[in-house]
Amino acid sequence: MAKILIPTPLRQFTGKQDSVTVTGDTVGSALANLTAQFPDLRKQIFNDEGKVRSFVNVYLNDEDIRYLSKTDTPVKDGDAISLVPSIAGGSALGGSVLAAPPEKAAPPPEAALTKEEILRYSRHLIIPEVGIEGQQKLKAAKVLLIGAGGLGAPLGLYLAAAGVGRIGLVDFDVVDFTNLQRQVIHSTADVGRNKIDSAAEKMKGINPNVTIVKHEVALTSENALDILKDYDIVVDGTDNFPTRYLVNDACVLLGKPNVYGSIFRFEGQATVFAYEGGPCYRCLYPEPPPPGLVPSCAEGGVLGILPGTIGLIQATETVKLILGIGEPLVGRLLLYDALSMRFRELKLRKNPECPVCGDHRTITKLIDYHQFCGVPSPNQAPAAQETRMNEGDISVIELKEKLDRGEKFVLIDVREPHEYKICNIPGAKLIPLGEFPQHVGEFSPDDDIVIHCRSGVRSGKACNVLRAAGFQHVRNVVGGILAWSDQVDPSVPKY
Amino acid sequence: MIRIESEPWTAMVAHARATYPNECCGAMLGSIEGDEKTVHAAAALDNAFAGEQARYYQLRSEDLLAADKAARERGMSLIGIYHSHPDCGAYFSETDLKNSCPWYSFVVLSIQKGEFDHANSWLPDADQTKADKEELIY
């Protein structure tokens, strides 16, 4: 027996009763018994095909039966069934826009959940905003993760666990020891393996129901549209500017949301770009920074936990977009500072002058992003740049011989003091690159000067500073202290 | 015929002006005597449409359920829905019709440049094919 609450306007059909108690084991049979008792009520609730009309939502107590078992939802004594209208509208003239409100769109039949999945996702299913339909949306969703590194690690693990049906991974890198401090999807035993295989194995381990599609390539202007087109949402977990612009432009051109995150030391950012009506990455940053100005994580370091925080903000936004719930992080750049433990928000506006998503678009296809960002393309860069010798270079072997011979020369280390503490070459004088120009006066033009850093990049800049000041005998240690560790003294730690 | 008492009417107009240039929406609570409906109270509800709210509104079923419950508790009934049309007439659009429910009166308030202009009440049919104009007194 259940009590059906009758909306006021329908009481004319129930002899003015505001509620009617009927028999029935399910919501469907209770409603059938109600309309059998009051035939005029039937056409108010059911259409000609006997289905509940589109404008009627049926609630059992406080819950919408669409999120329970629809009309098969069992009914107990004392339950109350309410008929609640589904109402929307607006001045807009095109009637079909809301004709099927999003939550009424039926998920494809292949998204039906198995018994095992219902148990696995039970903590989702009992949230009204997710429920069976939401879980089916997750199962039907196709998400592309670009990068299986710091951001990709939490994203891959949690999106797989949440039941996103199809997850594509783009990565062509190999796991190394320096990754393990933050890329929790890879374990120590995975060092040397392809990241894509290592990541896919962990994700499958968490949730075998998820299909993982491996794209073991570098994302390029040639292949990006073809890879992205098969996905609903793209999540950017990359660490370099050419790929960020490439992902952004491809998302705008294909009309797919780009869930963006970036990290540096203790700070991170996240937002959703290229969402309908919202800004894109180019609206925020029309031009890339000059090459070398913004250090990467490899150059500047990153707190290992940070990509966990930012990656999970990206994962949260991805799941919200799939479910169509909440307020997406669109038009807002979320800034996170781990040291002060504060979140701030910047308002982002769509730039009407944006070359890719503005009113007068000049970018209508993918361009050469390495050229755009002023960095060498990976195809053009020599494979072993660090060990290639040029005039004005000195190898670590030559340096060692020079030291062993007891030659009189000046050895300078242009790294930072905290790097010097990790390891150093005995006898080297520490002058961080930023302070280097102020120290030029300390050297004599006759000095034999050798400069090193971690890998040879910063010391190359310091050499140029001296040469520009007229110094003749200046040499750069090719490969820096990393090469020293490899070729001279293996006891020196690499970082 | 639907008659809206001055207190709820003032609240509805204020609500529509406050949300301008977006559409507002809400529930009308009152009583029905034969063909005569009287609105005693207006409940402003959230426009839940995830998109351009200047041209669309959407009511959450949970909010309507709560409004209906509140009406019953106070001896009133949920008898109608109101919403605003910013900078256009108080017509019943195709969008309104295709997302309507024939059990209720639908009052539309036209707000022009932020100020109340005129209003109409509509009675849509069960098949969402047409809506008849209902006499509105306020």
CB atoms within 10 A of CB A49: 5
Provide the pLDDT for residue A98.
37
User: What chain A residue is nearest to B27 in terms of C-alpha separation?
Assistant: A87
**Dihedral over alpha carbons B41, B46, B48, B53 (to 10 degrees):** 100
Query: Which residues does chain A have within 8 Å of residue B83's beta carbon, measured at their own beta carbons?
Result: 89-90
pLDDT at A103: 38
Distance (Å) of CA A432 to CA A320, A352, A418, A429, A485: 46, 43, 10, 10, 21
* Predicted pLDDT of residue A254: 93
Among partner residues A44, A92, A96, which is closest to B126 by beta-carbon distance? A44
495 residues of chain A, pLDDT tens digit each: 889 998 888 888 898 888 899 998 999 999 999 999 998 888 888 888 888 887 888 989 888 888 888 888 999 988 999 988 888 888 876 543 333 333 334 455 567 899 999 999 999 999 999 999 999 999 999 999 999 999 999 999 999 999 999 999 999 999 999 999 999 999 999 999 999 999 999 999 999 999 999 999 999 999 999 999 999 999 999 988 899 999 999 999 999 999 999 998 999 999 999 998 899 999 988 888 777 667 777 777 899 999 999 999 999 999 999 999 999 999 999 999 999 999 998 988 888 889 999 888 889 899 999 888 887 776 554 444 445 677 789 999 999 999 999 999 999 999 989 889 999 999 999 999 988 989 999 999 889 999 999 999 889 989 998 998 899 899 999 999 999 999 999 999 988
Contact A434, A446 (CB under 8 A): no
Query: Among the residues of chain B, which ranges form H helices?
Result: 6-19, 61-73, 94-98
Q: From residue A80, give the alpha-carbon distance in Å to each of A59, A62, A77, B14.
A: 8, 9, 9, 35
Contact partners, residue B29, CB within 8 Å, separation at least 6: B39, B40, B41, B42, B43, B67, B70, B71, B74, B76, B77, B78, B79
Q: What is the ipTM of this complex?
A: 0.87
Q: Where are the strands (E) in A274-373, listed by range?
A: 332-337, 342-347
Distance (Å) from the alpha carbon of A245 to chain B's nearest alpha carbon:
27
Residue type (1 letter), A241: F
For B18, other C-beta atoms within 10 Å of its C-beta total 12
pLDDT of residue A99: 33
> Residue A486's pLDDT is what?
92
Residue A283 region by backbone torsions, left for phi larger than 0, else alpha for psi between -120 and 50, else beta: alpha
**Closest to B25 (Cα-Cα) out of B89, B108, B90, B87:** B108
Q: How far is CA B58 from CA A101, A421, A472, in A?
A: 9, 62, 76
Q: With an 8 Å Cβ cutoff, are B95 and A98 in contact?
A: yes
**How many beta carbons lie within 10 A of that of residue A491, not counting itself?**
7
Q: What's the Cα-to-Cα distance from B35 to each of A253, A321, B40, rounded to whole Å?
A: 56, 46, 16
Q: What is the longest distance spanned by two Cα atoms in chain A?
A: 111
Mutate to test the interface with A, among B45, B103, B104 (most CBs of A within 10 A): B103
Phi and psi at residue A207, in whole multiples of 5°? Answer: -145, 95
Task: Provide the CA A105 distance to its chain's centre, in angstroms.
Answer: 27
The half-sphere exposure of A157 on its side-chain side, counting CA atoms within 13 A, is 15
Tens of pLDDT, residue by residue over B9-41, are 999 999 999 999 999 999 999 998 888 999 999
Question: What pLDDT is attached to residue A250?
Answer: 96
Nearest by CB to residue B65, choosing from A56, A59, A102, is A59
Q: For strands A88-89 and B57-58, give the pairing.
A: antiparallel
> CA-CA distance, B100 to A397, in Å (whole number)?
82
Name the β-bridge partners of B111. B86, B116
Rounded Cα–Cα distance for residues B42 and A440 (Å) = 79
Active site residues of A: 297, 453
Q: Computed from CA positions of residues A46, A50, A52, A55, in that sequence, does the dihedral angle turn out positive or negative?
A: negative
Nearest CA in chain A to B105: A9
Predicted confidence at residue B107, as pLDDT, reads 97
Distance between CA atoms of residues B90 and B111, nearest Å: 9
Q: What would the pLDDT profile of B75-120 be if each residue is shown by its tens digit?
A: 899 999 999 999 988 999 888 888 899 999 999 999 999 999 999 9
**What is the reported pLDDT for A101?**
35
* pLDDT at position A380: 53
- Report d(CA A62, CA B70) in Å as an integer: 14
Give residue B132's identity as a one-letter amino acid code.
Answer: D
CB distance from A48 to chain B under 8 Å?
Answer: no
pLDDT score for A385: 42
- The residue of B2, B28, B96 whose CB has the most chain A CBs within 10 angstroms, and thus the best one to mutate to test that interface, is B96
DSSP classification of residue A13: G
Q: Token pair of B3, please? A: 């008659």
* Cα first-last separation, chain A: 72
Per-residue model confidence (pLDDT) at position A388:
60
| Separation in Å, CA of A326 to nearest CA in chain B | 9
User: B138 and B4 in contact (C-beta within 8 Å)?
Assistant: yes
Q: Is the CB of residue A97 less than 8 Å away from at least one CB of chain B? A: yes
Distance from C-alpha of A89 to C-alpha of A297, rounded to nearest angstrom:
50
Q: Mutation test of the interface with chain A: which of B19, B31, B95, choosing the one with the most A Cβ atoms within 10 A?
A: B95
β-partners of residue B41 are: B29
Contacts of B91 in chain A (CB under 8 A): 91
